[in-house]
Chains A and B, each alone.
Chain A
């Protein structure tokens, strides 16, 4: 295994207490923030730009570029928000980071806040992670006591106040503008862009929303330099990535690996191969909202550009793995049930279309499919691409790939009705 950077204080194999302030500092903690505070904010931004860091929330947008849209001459309040809504099914990397090493996140936020001169920060935490929020709150208190948060951080003259916000728990809150609406106490509907949050975000003020893992990269980049970070990973995707695997693998878990590790290596070496007697059938690479990949694509390197070239998206790089024993009609029903439930209800094709898709897929699974259902599903897959935000296109990823790559399974259901032995995919039935 390569060097653990973000996970160096974290044992991902068993639960334990979060890394203490003393242990964190002893391991070189807060050195990145110390280095940042010695630079000018624009110098810090330049380091991040040079490092090639790309957002770890799923979209892979260059972090330095995103930051550069924040007006630096703006005199009013600016906000930094950490997106820890991690509602993406099959994704649990941010969870490990906030439960086990909250100081690393705090340090990352100090650096980001300083780089954009944001004096107020929020960590937006998924409701189910409320125990993690407790460790973050505890760490915030300790950091404040040690002069890393609050007024005049380490005598630098820079103020940064940080607090956590426990989400009410909707998938859409992970969308940055919906997150901002939710944080403002409004319905978590996405906002139209432009204006982008960088200029008009939380309470109409310039705001940056970054993922936990993105922010956790910052202390190391600042402490060890942009070129060190760029030397890890691939040309287009620098640094390490916390990769996960769940589903039909022998050892589900999280591993910090350089960007560009082949998917097969993760599946076979780290996750220990198939969990059952069946061979692998499909992988959804980046949480749920990315198109399925089949075994012929398993040599794809796990970095943003390679996975995109293979027709999917790296997303969160937390692989959901299916084997030949899994019924893809059931899987699809399960997936689309999730999206139908989580649609915020704002725009028509998503609000009405995805539940309609679910009705059809469920009917097929229950042996009540009709001739014409598959063409309707094909049509709906196109239709839900013209929605207000990226939620429905996210749903379309696994859905369209399932009805395309595993069409024969759907056709079998339509021909023969529901096979008696069909095992429902994991999850609650609706």
Chain B
């Protein structure tokens, strides 16, 4: 229990929590004390010695110079920030730091947002007495994200504390001693951590800067910014994109105490550059003719009306998107309804839809505790099932790393080891689709256990028994409904007296949880069967590359064969826009406003920036224009969130009032979706173990389509390969590098990689979102 105490700071009494650190107390109350090494997420270490003040244990005792970050509040404490000796000391510490700092401020990328500049001014340091030469360093190549400029280093240790202590990275360290401490890698090379970009923010000077931003540098005060939500996965981190002269220059995390707090992953930070990609749609197209975007929209309405007139309203269908907002997807539904049709689908397959809908319904049902990122950090035992958390929901992984630092054991059930596995207590490599059964075995201590999993299940059960706040994370992006049910069942079963288990699912896109709650959507097969059977003649697609839902280009082409009219609204060129009759370009996500629902059912509003350019309309604006063109504008005026999505009326009202600078609201389930109940987990329809199962491996860099249009992300994406366990390869007499042709069995082939951290009898291939422009270039090269 926290206890309130009274302390005096510069003559004023404050009531604070006992044991809280004095520096944070002061900063929270706007009492600025200069500091470097202290960071709210990284905690105090007392290295920089800048946050000194005069501190006395009580009013009748003399004050002593001490570090406020290292001092915990106790009743009666008297702190004098403005004490003369403390002020002189702080000034001197800045002078110490300036002994070797290069004073290259006019040409430094950090200028304008440099903590050293701010702290120097705050500490009142002006004059250096030194006349000795400065230390100089050689810089390292650290990969496509981060530029290294060691001469600027003031040795605050924030970088290694974030990278190593906080994010558990192993390839950035402190070398040397005295005033020659070097922060870098053993040798030049790409930083291994998925969170390396945060070095840019934690570094108080310009040692680690955003390499991409350097290329298109603008002074930070010249950037146009507005809070937005990251578009690259279902975590929904709050970010601050910065635009200048019509192009996106960089993305920084924006503080959101309920989600990502201070940090973002490298895909979120560096993936946003897709906005500047040359293949971004800059004009409308109608049957190959380049025309104005609004004109295309109007023409599309004309064509759709004609098709409805000829074939009836049910001849039109729509495919919505997990990377478009709740509003845009709702508008798409309204447009379809205005045309008289109901056939709208949001997912790649019926299985993915079923799993996502079930997971989303459970998430917002209020029946189990759903963990936010800050909650995950407090878990004391973690189970991850069904995928590579680092690649598929990176910031969840960073939260789990905090739990690991606090001593929580992590157990991973997945076919292939990812980055988090190296920190896990134990991992079990399983066949895809058997995660649910394993999870149930852990939760039910009476269930029999197979010999292979004996050690894992025993250890997991023991850790679970010892835990008070266990956490289950399960994938809802692979169509494994049994796993979704098993995780839910696990959470309910293991929540007992004295133990509260929490749960989180991760999804396939930034708004996948949102569209999973859509009212009255159809399974994707309804659309594709309708097209195949010639019942559906026209398809409207919102921000989605349908080719990614098919395993080959031929299949994709075959599926589209019968469509008479394909209209696509998107901001980027994809295989789908290339195949479309009409392309209506919208602005990029970071220029759009709207709402995303993240994995925990939290809705966050993002404010788009209006950037001049050939395309100015957002997806929602275009859809509304089309609805109005049908004379059905009233449908928009009367639209409610709770009509379009299965959320409660209260949640709907909350969403109406939601502002972009809000941490977001967690919605509650309405009444349409089946209320969660414990359904018996379907026994996994495991194929015979002698057959190979296919595992499509997601990568943080390479598997997400938007970020793959950002050059540094594309640079780090894997090449196509086929992976097998060395034992399996040996049985098939295949060696590393040989061509593994599994076209007949699994429809894949490619150069073989051996991976002993892959489950037996599983073949893994990377999911690669190769940009459309590149694919056509490759095709041309092949044909040439």
Contact = CB atoms under 8 A, between A and B. Distances in A.
Interface stretch (A1-9, A96-104, A287-295, A339-347): A339-347
Given A356-B96, A388-B47, A343 B174 contact: no
Contact of B178 (A355, A376, A386): A355
B318 to A, nearest CB: 58
B131 A370 contact: yes
Contact of A386 (B49, B99, B157): B49
Contact of A353 (B50, B96, B176): B96
A247 interface: no
B129 A348 contact: no
A192 B45 contact: yes
Contacts of B96: 348-349, 351-353, 356, 383
Interface in B109-133: 129-132
B185 interface: no
A296 interface: no
Contacts of A386: 49, 52, 65, 89
A347 B178 contact: no
A204 to B, nearest CB: 10
B551 interface: no
B183 to A, nearest CB: 11
Contacts of A347: 46-49
Nearest to A370: B131
Interface in B374-389: none
A340 B135 CA distance: 14
Given A352-B96, A352-B100, A345 B180 contact: yes
A220 B99 CA distance: 52
B179 A355 contact: yes
A343 B49 contact: no
B92 interface: yes
A359 interface: yes
A348 B93 contact: yes
A383 B177 CA distance: 20
A379 interface: yes
A297 to B, nearest CB: 29
B136 to A, nearest CB: 15
B413 interface: no
B70 interface: yes
Residue picked from A348, A355, A370, most chain B C-beta under 10 Å: A348
B748 interface: no
Interface string B25-55: 0000000000000000000011111101000
Contacts of B427: none
A344 B177 contact: yes
A192 B47 CA distance: 10
B260 to A, nearest CB: 28
A387 B49 contact: yes
Contacts of B179: 340, 343, 345, 351-352, 355
A345 B155 contact: yes
Residue picked from A349, A363, A370, most chain B C-beta under 10 Å: A349
Contacts of A344: 177-178
B49 A348 contact: yes
Contacts of B132: 356, 359, 363
Residue picked from A352, A354, A359, A376, most chain B C-beta under 10 Å: A352
A170 interface: yes
A345 B177 contact: yes
B780 to A, nearest CB: 54
A15 interface: no
A202 to B, nearest CB: 17
A246 B155 CA distance: 37
Nearest to A191: B45
B500 interface: no
B89 A388 contact: no
Contacts of A187: 174
A372 interface: yes
Contacts of A359: 130, 132
B166 to A, nearest CB: 15
A348 B50 contact: yes
Interface string B82-97: 0000000100110011
Nearest to A172: B177
**What is the interface of chain B mostly: helix, strand, loop, or mixed?**
loop
Contacts of A379: 92
B181 interface: yes
Contacts of A351: 96, 155, 178-179, 181
| Range, interface on chain A | 20 to 34
Nearest to B36: A348
A379 B88 CA distance: 11
Contacts of B70: 192
Residue picked from A187, A342, A351, A383, most chain B C-beta under 10 Å: A351
Contact of A345 (B89, B129, B131, B176): B176
Residue picked from A354, A376, A379, A386, most chain B C-beta under 10 Å: A386
Contact of A356 (B47, B89, B99): B99
Contacts of B97: 348, 352
Interface string A177-205: 00000000001000010000000000000
A353 B155 CA distance: 13
Interface in A394-409: none
A353 B93 CA distance: 9
Nearest to A355: B179
A363 B131 CA distance: 10
Contact of B89 (A192, A341, A342, A383): A383
A345 B70 CA distance: 19
A389 to B, nearest CB: 10
Given A348-B50, A386-B49, A343 B92 contact: no
Contacts of B50: 348
Nearest to A204: B407
Interface string A360-384: 0001000000101000100100010
Contacts of A388: 46-47, 49
A346 B178 CA distance: 8
B45 A352 contact: no
A346 B47 contact: yes
B120 to A, nearest CB: 13
Contact of B177 (A192, A342, A363): A342
Residue picked from A340, A346, A387, A388, most chain B C-beta under 10 Å: A346
Contacts of A370: 131
B51 to A, nearest CB: 11
B94 to A, nearest CB: 9
Nearest to B98: A352
Nearest to A171: B177
Residue picked from B70, B178, B181, most chain A C-beta under 10 Å: B178
A159 to B, nearest CB: 26
A379 B97 CA distance: 16
Interface string A237-268: 00000000000000000000000000000000
A216 to B, nearest CB: 31
A343 B96 CA distance: 14
B129 A376 contact: yes
Contacts of B177: 170, 341-345
A181 to B, nearest CB: 12
B37 to A, nearest CB: 9
A177 B678 CA distance: 53
Contact of B181 (A345, A349, A353, A387): A345
Q: What 9 A-B pairs are tightest by C-beta distance, nearest first? A: A352-B96, A345-B181, A343-B178, A359-B132, A345-B177, A355-B179, A348-B49, A348-B96, A347-B47
19 contacts: A187-B174, A340-B178, A341-B178, A343-B179, A345-B176, A345-B180, A346-B47, A346-B157, A348-B50, A352-B96, A352-B179, A355-B179, A356-B96, A356-B99, A356-B132, A370-B131, A386-B52, A386-B65, A388-B47
Given A341-B178, A342-B177, A388-B49, 15 more contacts: A343-B179, A345-B155, A345-B177, A348-B49, A348-B97, A351-B179, A352-B97, A352-B100, A355-B179, A356-B99, A359-B130, A359-B132, A370-B131, A376-B129, A386-B65
Interface of A: 170, 187, 192, 340-349, 351-356, 359, 363, 370, 372, 376, 379, 383, 386-388
